[in-house]
Structure 1
Amino acid sequence: METENNMDSSVSPSFYRCKNTSDRVSLRRVNDGYIDCLYGDDERNPDYPMTQLFRYQCQTVTSPSQYVSYAKLGDGVNDCADGSDEVSNEIRWSIFKCDTNDNYACWVLQGDQFGENRLKDVRLHFHRYCDSNRDMMDGQDEKNCSDWMCDTGLYKCNRSGQCIERKSFCDGEFDCDDGEDEVNCPQILQKWKFELNCNNRTEYFCITDEYIKNQSLNRSCISWHQVGDGHIDCIGARDERNVASCPDHRMVGDRFWCDNGRKCINYIAVCNGIKDCVDETDESICYWNTGYCRAGQFSCADRNGCKSARCTTGMTCSDKSHRFWCPNSTSENYVYRSSKHRSIFDIKKGCYNQLESHTKLSISSSSSNHQAKALDDRYFYCNRGFHLQVVTSSEFFCFCPLTFYGDRCQFNSRRVAIRLRFDRRQRSDLPLILNVLVMLLLNESIVVDHRLFVDEAKEYSSKSMTYLIYPRPKPLGTYSVRIESYHSTELIHFWEYPVSPLDFLPVLRIVKVLRFPARSFPWLCSHNYCENNGTCHQREDNKFLCICAYGWKGKLCEMKTEYIHCASHSLARTETICVCPPGYLEPYCYVQNLKCQQNNCELNETCIPRSHPPIYGHICICNTSNCNINRPVISVQRQEPNQSPFLLQLLQLTGDYPTIRQQILVQPLTTFPLIKTIKTRDWGYVIGEQPEIGLLFTFESNAYSIETTLYLLFINCSSTMRNFSVNLDQQLNKCHVLPENQRHAVTLFGNFCQSFTYGTCFISDGYLCYCGYPNKNHSNCLSYQRRYTVCSYCQNQGHCVQGDLTNRTDFACVCPKISH
């Protein structure tokens, strides 16, 4: 934050001036959910147009609108006034996290940098509907569930239609909205004796307005049929605890609902002699309290005592009325039904098990649920790191990522962020595997930080990203970054880039494409400047680098090392920086990776053990032209060449959202049959299953637009490798687009499948459903958004179709009929 004394306007092209103070903040910090100005005028500021990236607009907050940073989504704190940064009209954000590079959530959250608001298309995972857990504002995902089909192993509530675990019966919490799972349960001794007057098979304890007015003519019990019916009968909405909503759009739960829903108070504030609700129902519900206890105390119903607290074992009433309106647990971190957030149905497992007709649902134990809750409670303790708790105490220790430090990871590390890509074109003589050493240097000689990784020869080279951290405190001097590439322990080439004078920046990013000179390696100096048998390497600008003999270090190998940790068969760049030969593991190259002795690669491939994480990993490199001979293929057949392109998209069932394993673009005027190898390796080059789902996109030119049609080619839930054949001349399984009035009827999708209302495949906003597989009694829906199929290389309103995701040049343009 800066101060400015001579500014006439609160807004300038580069910063915002806080009102009534001389402080000014960067425009990127206006409307980001963090209060920077003393009076908070940098937030919900109607005068500032929202143009910054990665901002979420709170859904129901208007006059003025409110925005928060993407980083605040699902962090457990209501930053939006309506709480939509935690639970929105579409999803509970805490279950939508960017964890891996191929994760659907990552793709969505990265959309802003490409000018796409992908967040608006996010939809709740299909199998999170009707699971008794609220994942949308006001529990919209738990309504109209009577026609919902539960996954195997779950109990379906008779009235609400929700799906719950059988172990949740009689645990003191409503799981079915109408409390069906708590009917006719054994009497709990902890209850207030007055509550036991109701017949728990047919009645529910409920203090109503009528009962308070006349306790002689009315009973404090209502029929179970009135519970969860959407009509509040009990004061405080105890009968609608899972149906009614509080101002934060979440269920009432153990809270007390008052003021016609404009307020919900904590259970501790009920009957404490202090009127927290405007309608005073939080005190009038305790009709026996005539005021003989002081404010802040609870009056026992038998008028035999005043207690400073309720719901505790230390403050008890003889009639147990202190247990009135108490939750299952009085733990400080207890949240109503928080342990009921179970893992969703495993789509992949379900797909394979349906084929075998014996689906089993894995349910975590209650102890693991409590452990997960305990972790949730400490989720933010270590900021961006993770914590471990000492078993014998409540002490926590934080493990921080490279970019943060401190006892709670509360400080940002000053660093240099590096993104590299090696250009191997025109250099077919380079080894398949390069060991890469990246170092942050002080005064060209002192290594203050380093990273080691490998670069693999691929058809399309991949990028590598790493961080180099400045020391703390940061010594004065000149900083630079050096990148060294090795074949085993032999240097091939090196690059060096200055950091100073920009080393004052908190974060400096260096992005480079590294090219090798057109000459043989190693490139040795014409004159050896290195001492003590060091080897001198040079580059195009005549700068040189000394690779020192074992036991020496320094810019000219002039300093002797006292103790070297590296194994003798490695290259010791310093006492602790070791470049390992193939198959020996970091950091000191003593342990050998024997993974390749297990024949993990296919025929005609060479197994190369990794020297870098993951530990005991390996890489399979093709060494002939026949490496794909034993891999499955997909054959596309058609009698005539195609006029428009086709796109095949192969999906792998992983996690909450399917992964796009492969895309195959069939260019116009292709000669058929077209045979393509199916990728069976994941991103780590580990051989896995085939893609389970195959989709086909076709494109038809109209006068001013392009019509896209989706077809379901196959569903393959078998561990056996097989080939696929697609005949485009035959009638394909078209996926029908649901009409507008049915697109949000997600809980009815199962019915659509059973009756084949929209055929055997249909799509809606965020969902893809396939019916009758593997037999007519089974169906499933995926959370699916069409992604990675379009590009931006075409002109004149042409539709750009992206093919291979690893090759940007693999695309086709479909032109409207008025363009050419």
Structure 2
Amino acid sequence: MKCLPVDQVSGGAVDCFRAPFAEFNKVIVPNITFQMYTFRCWNDTKCIEDENLCNAIEDCPMYANELFCPNRSQLCHDSDFGKLPNMQDISCQVINKPFTSFSLENALNYPSLYTIQTKFIENQIHDEMITSSSIKSIIPSEICNSGLYVYHRLGVNNYSSLCFCPPNYYGDRCQYQNQRVSLTLTLATVEQPIIYAIIVMLIENDNDRQEIHSYHQFTYASLKYCGKFVNLYLLYSKRGKNNSKNYSIRIDAFNKDSLTYLISWHLTIPFVFLPVNRISAFLTLPISRTFNPKHCPLQCYKGTCMRYHNEERFFCQCHSGWSGAQCNIPIDCNMCAPNSICIGSIRNRSICVCPHGKFGSFCRLQLVCPIGICKNNGRCIMIDERMIDESYMCFCSEQFFGPRCGNVKHRIDISLENIETPLYLLAYIYTMISFERVPPTFVILRKMTMFQSNITVYSQAQFRMVIVKIDNRYYLAVLRKLVSSNIVTSISPTQRCIPIHELLPTKLFLLPRIQRLKSYHIPCQRDSNLQCFVDEFYMCLCTEERHSNCFPLEHQRTFACEDNVYCENGGTCLQDRRICSKNILCICSDCFFGNRCQFYAKGIGLTLDDLLRYEIRPNNTLNDQSLLFGLS
């Protein structure tokens, strides 16, 4: 076999399949391949497909195709190919031989087998023949257990292998487990444009130094990580820890924008004698510091006495550059950048907490968001140091949403008519309504100010129904057959959804609910102005035909915060969902006011600042503030 030169491709001769030039009359058939045709007529340019070769039609001159058919089965045998005439030899090979695709199974190896010198883990050097398949055979995952096997070349005829171990293993084959604490955290907070620095430390408690054995620091943003698991390994500084000592885990949270200390948690290691302790915790992050250090009994020299949020235990939160149980031990913080804070040291290295926009062990590297990546005045933050698309996040103002704040929310303006201004209200927004138990798509809480009679809420999706709840009363604010957006509406006593016991006779109401359900059409037929009513489990809408159309309504749903880290001075915390809430509010006790009940009203009067404080709409421009605020 040889390769045909390019200048002979269209030379007018059939050069392939061992065909004699004289018998083929030195002709070729242009644009014909042997995948398409399997028989060439004798002394002709005509070709016949295999399926038409023996169809009893004499296609070829001298009946060549049909003459070949009677003895085709006996003629075409692999053992007889050498005895056939050239034309029959060609036909048999083309017809009987299957088409062979390209393959390297029978290719020659180049270069040939080579000899390398391999250094095994036991530090024994062997000279052996290694092929690509034998290299694969010495890299099973079992060699390094849970580690990463690395095979590399050090020089000519000099090869080595080693194992990279994860934090919980060590040894030349990662065959030993480190004594450690396996910690799983779930963090949650209200959706606010706040970036947190979380520092987790394994501390020895048996001396005043409070030695840090290991620590882990990470950045937390509610939009990205709220409610998700964070798995950490905390190692002891020495293998073979001292089981007679006491160890604990301390978790500190800082606001990365201002580097303000916020809160701390204390986790006890229950079984120190065990080589591995597994601990899990659910932590709720505040938006500001909530503990008042006035009643703290400890003496802190260069720090502030604080209390752990989850225990009645006090500690000293040291200022930057100081450590120890009483913050009386200075530490060298020269490694940390000037705009960072130093909270301790480990193995003569400073532990630095970086502000937003800085990263690195000593906060000397800078993070920069691309210009204009967040639309509509959204705030860009960096959540990791890779600087890829997933590294950037946008905190949007109330009117916008989306990964880059490019989507506009639907606006709902609600005015209260002949209704006393409540302390707060809830707006239930439904995008769909079903007889099955479907919760509202959005629940929005709004704190009301003195003399306020209008509120504005926003919905990410178009809506069909909006219900406003004030105390234990429900009002139908919006009801549409088709989805709507950007609507102005009002609620008054006529839009109130009346409880069923006020509509039915006492005798009928006292019947079991399954029996009185058949009477639910009566209120709609008696009162043509009635729009809705409620019972213990359902809300019913009156239809155009004056029938009742009911769907489940969760009357008993509670909005109280499970872990109140937001409200101060005994304020009651409410949130729209159990974790990762989008809005939250505080109901203040007497004489306290503010978004977190952080202010105390001295005397019997209120200043203009106190009256207008509630009118301020966060994350809004001056033009979007209320009229009362603008006039002031």
Q: Which has the higher contact order (CA 8 A, sep 6+)?
A: 2
TM category, shorter: 0.3 to 0.5
TM-score by length of 2: 0.41
TM-score by length of 1: 0.32
The structure whose Rg is larger is: 2
